[in-house]
Amino acid sequence: MLVVMVIILIGILVLHQSPHKPSASTTNTTIKPSQSTTSTIPAPQEDYLQVSTGPTWVHLDTTQSLTLDTSSLAGQNGIAVSLELFSKIQSRSEFQVIMKYGLKSLPIASSPPVDLNRLSHDAAGKPLLNFELSETAPSRPLLNQPVPTSFIQIPYCSPNCSGVYPLLAVFVQGSQIIGTALTDIALEPSSQVSSPLNFAFVVQAPFTGNSVNDLNSLSLLVSAVSANPSANITLNIPGMVLQEAEASHSSTVKSTLDQLLSWSQKPGHQIINSGFVPVNLPQLRSSGLNTSISEELVAGRNQTEQFLHQHLTSLGPLAVHGGLTFQNADTLASLGASDIMLSDKYFVPFSEKFSLSQPFALATSVGKNLTVLADDSGLKADISSRSQPYRDANQLSTDLAQIYFDQPNDTSPRVVGTLFQVSNSQDAQVLTQILTDVSSSPFIKTVSLNKAFALTSADQLSYGKLATPAPYLAFDPTRFNSLTNDIAALTSSLGQNSDLTGAQYNLLASLSSTLSPKNSNRFLNLSQAVVNNVSSKVSLASNKAFTVTARSVHLPIAITSQFKVPFKGILVITSDRLSFPNGNTIPVTLNGPNTTISIPIYAETLGLYLITAKLFTTNGQFAVANTSIEIRSTAFSAVSIVLTLGAFLVLGLWWIQSFRRGHRRNRRLVREKN
């Protein structure tokens, strides 16, 4: 008899444990009907069940509702669902273990199964499961009502019931468990929370190099945050994306910008940028492009100022992308940045029992510290799947709640943060659910980055250290540097030019660490096309042959310009046999379409000569036009005339002398003959 009872207990234990291994990042588990039930339960169309919506914050003795996604089932006949509540999570580390490996314990309370066919449904046809948690037995038969309510009587826990609890929906047919779906709930305390956890949520607009996609992502982001104005968050929008939006003629994009500007003017809302495009600071430095860091940050700030119609007094706060080295920290501090958000994988972990929930100071060699707020990798992992909006938001919100419950009575200001990028409609759904959850939480207070850094005074900050970075792959900056020099040269001649400014922006965009090599080269090609087009608007007259009859003459050189503004340059002429009395370098200013420059030249002798003419930019670094001119000189110099006359005189004297000698010889021959 004892053996039989032991076998029964083991069977019950296995029955309870088998469904308690849900995926770490989703609300679902694989449905695996046993061989004996395969004939009665049709094969599911998908491989999971899930909770698609539900409450994150729960009060005792209050009816709540879970929306169940049972679309993986071919039918609901004979299938029931019950709820199992597990022990309150005691620490954030335990929370992260459960998210990664699933539940390993037994439930502390459960509800009786209720047939799916008895549940009401939402507009999409999904079952709605009402449930209620209480320390006492129900005062009325909840399952016998027209719309049944699953009742869970938890063990007596007052006054310490508040905390995060895993809640598992168990789907059964008969005695066979066919699937489970996990969610987490946070029981709210009966009294008001006096010191909630501050949450600095930074939402990133992507830069992909595809203007249409980037502007569509921006529109989705703005719509989501505008629908949740009570959430105080920070938007990190690359300057290039703002520039593309402002240059667009689309009425939809213009409406998005109006909506974004209106959102930014409300208290607690903040727009920042971390550069013209997202860049990898260590990679730029290792590639010899440290000066480009300043150009990226300043260009991004200028674009944000233009959009907001306000002057930003400093760089930052910055959400640093792609890591940070000691040299990068010095660069940022020297540029005037003071507050940065940095992933916690780039600095040495603090030896603390609880999660880091305060900014820290980072010393630099330029005599100014940076204040660093961690981009919490655990929070980022909570929302990394992007496949189930409710579950992602649920994991993030309950993770934040657990950070709060780790130190519920700590009155010092605590703040954690993370960054989330919205690239598509599914990301926007996740964002909407997150904002809905965190803005309604009694444990969490959303704050902007400015507010997050202002919570703790500088003299109260602990000092942190950057982790030794892994080697960063440098790229060849040859073409980038060449185009940078060409654009700078043309700018020295034209001043501010919209085409050249656009080419400079394309150069900055090419450095984005979010671009593929192909897209990066595309931006370099756009800059090269501008350089070619601008330089082609100035030309020197084509090859001509000039004949000069004097030794010192003025040679006319015709220059044409298509610019509507003056073009300043330097004309350089060279020849191996001609000389230039006023020098061979002539500053020129082209004020109209046609300009003729008269250049004094001096030909020593007659003959055929070749002159090469090149028009350089003002800084002398870039030749915008060149030509060659053939000179035929027929002029005689004084020396040549004297030599020629002397030659004729000598020849004449020789002829006269020869004539006289011949005449004498003839006379002598005549005398001898006679």
CATH number of the domain enclosing 306: 3.20.110.20
Q: What is the pLDDT of residue 672?
A: 64
- Residue 300 — very low, low, confident or very high, per pLDDT cuts 50/70/90? very high
The structure tokens 């009395």 sit at: 581
Residue where a domain stops, chosen among 187, 205, 224: 187
Nearest to 539 by CA among 515, 563, 505, 512: 563
- Residue 642 — very low, low, confident or very high, per pLDDT cuts 50/70/90? low
My answer on whether 300 and 437 are in the same domain is: yes
My answer on whether 607 and 497 are in the same domain is: no
Bridge-based pairing of strands 552-561 and 538-540 is antiparallel
My answer on whether 427 and 305 are in the same domain is: yes
Nearest to 89 by CA among 169, 167, 26: 167
Number of domains in the chain: 5
**What are the structure tokens assigned to 220, written together?**
């989705």
Question: Is 609 contained in some domain?
Answer: yes
| Mean pLDDT value of segment 506-524 | 94
- Residue 159 — very low, low, confident or very high, per pLDDT cuts 50/70/90? confident
- Residue 643 — very low, low, confident or very high, per pLDDT cuts 50/70/90? low
- Identify the weakest region by mean pLDDT among 252-256, 405-409, 532-536, 645-649: 645-649
Q: When comparing pLDDT for 353 and 83, which is higher?
A: 83
- Residue 43 — very low, low, confident or very high, per pLDDT cuts 50/70/90? very low
Q: What is the pLDDT of residue 180?
A: 92
- What distance in Å separates the CA atoms of residue 113 and residue 143, rounded to the nearest whole number? 9
* Predicted confidence (pLDDT) per residue in 583-597, tens digit: 899 999 999 999 999
Q: Please check the confidence at residue 331 and state whether its pLDDT lies above 50.
A: yes
- Residue 673 — very low, low, confident or very high, per pLDDT cuts 50/70/90? low
My answer on whether 508 and 556 are in the same domain is: no
Residue where a domain stops, chosen among 156, 187, 218: 187
| Eight-class DSSP state of 397 | H
Question: Is 280 contained in some domain?
Answer: yes
Q: Which amino acid is at 662?
A: G
- Residue 26 — very low, low, confident or very high, per pLDDT cuts 50/70/90? very low
Q: How far is CA 342 from CA 236, 262, 273, 376, in A?
A: 14, 29, 14, 9
Q: Please check the confidence at residue 39 and state whether its pLDDT lies above 80.
A: no
Question: Is 296 contained in some domain?
Answer: yes
Strand ranges (DSSP E) for 282-380?
318-319, 339-343, 360-362, 370-375
* Predicted confidence (pLDDT) per residue in 178-227, tens digit: 999 999 999 998 778 889 999 999 999 999 999 999 999 999 999 999 99
Q: Which amino acid is at 299?
A: A
Residue where a domain stops, chosen among 164, 187, 210: 187
Q: Which amino acid is at 674?
A: N
Question: Is 81 contained in some domain?
Answer: yes
Q: What is the pLDDT of residue 667?
A: 66
Q: How far is CA 279 from CA 109, 284, 293, in A?
A: 51, 8, 8
- Residue 5 — very low, low, confident or very high, per pLDDT cuts 50/70/90? very low
- Residue 513 — very low, low, confident or very high, per pLDDT cuts 50/70/90? very high
- Residue 485 — very low, low, confident or very high, per pLDDT cuts 50/70/90? very high
Counting residues of the chain whose pLDDT is more than 70, the rounded percentage is 86
Q: When comparing pLDDT for 353 and 50, which is higher?
A: 50
Q: Please check the confidence at residue 18 and state whether its pLDDT lies above 60.
A: no
3-state DSSP assignment of residue 478: helix
Burial of 11: CB neighbours in 10 Å, binned 0-12, 13-18, 19+ = exposed
Q: When comparing pLDDT for 246 and 49, which is higher?
A: 246
My answer on whether 428 and 517 are in the same domain is: no
| Mean pLDDT value of segment 603-629 | 88
Q: What is the pLDDT of residue 609?
A: 81
Q: Please check the confidence at residue 356 and state whether its pLDDT lies above 70.
A: yes
- What distance in Å separates the CA atoms of residue 523 and residue 511, rounded to the nearest whole number? 9
My answer on whether 325 and 456 are in the same domain is: yes
My answer on whether 292 and 431 are in the same domain is: yes
CB atoms inside a 10 Å sphere around CB 554: 10
Integer Rg of the chain from CA: 41
My answer on whether 674 and 582 are in the same domain is: no
Q: Please check the confidence at residue 648 and state whether its pLDDT lies above 90.
A: no
Q: What is the pLDDT of residue 20?
A: 42
My answer on whether 205 and 322 are in the same domain is: yes
* Host H or E run for residue 610: strand 607-617
Here the contacts of 191-194 (C-beta below 8 Å, separation 24 or greater) are 192/442, 193/404, 193/442, 193/443, 194/411
Q: What is the pLDDT of residue 580?
A: 86
Q: What is the pLDDT of residue 17?
A: 41
Q: Which pTM does this prediction carry? A: 0.83
Question: Is 331 contained in some domain?
Answer: yes
* Predicted confidence (pLDDT) per residue in 401-417, tens digit: 999 999 987 889 999 99
Q: Please check the confidence at residue 107 and state whether its pLDDT lies above 80.
A: yes
Domain CATH number, residue 598: 2.60.40.3450
My answer on whether 336 and 453 are in the same domain is: yes
Question: Is 89 contained in some domain?
Answer: yes
3-state DSSP assignment of residue 117: helix
Q: Are 187 and 109 in contact (CB under 8 A)?
A: no
Question: Is 668 contained in some domain?
Answer: yes
Burial of 538: CB neighbours in 10 Å, binned 0-12, 13-18, 19+ = buried
Q: What is the pLDDT of residue 411?
A: 87
- What distance in Å separates the CA atoms of residue 395 and residue 38, rounded to the nearest whole number? 33
* Host H or E run for residue 652: helix 638-673
Indicate the average pLDDT of the chain: 86
Question: Is 245 contained in some domain?
Answer: yes
Q: Please check the confidence at residue 234 and state whether its pLDDT lies above 60.
A: yes
Give the DSSP per-residue string, 355-370. ---S-EEE--TTS-PE
- Residue 146 — very low, low, confident or very high, per pLDDT cuts 50/70/90? confident
Q: What is the pLDDT of residue 461?
A: 93
| Mean pLDDT value of segment 599-609 | 80
Q: Please check the confidence at residue 142 and state whether its pLDDT lies above 70.
A: no
**Full domain range(s) for residue 484:** 478-532
Give the DSSP per-residue string, 244-296. HHHH---HHHHHHHHHHHHHHTSTT-EEE-SSSS---HHHHHHTT-HHHHHHH
The structure tokens 């670094």 sit at: 621
Tell me the backbone φ, ψ of residue 282, rounded to 5 degrees. Answer: -60, -35
My answer on whether 180 and 211 are in the same domain is: no
My answer on whether 300 and 433 are in the same domain is: yes
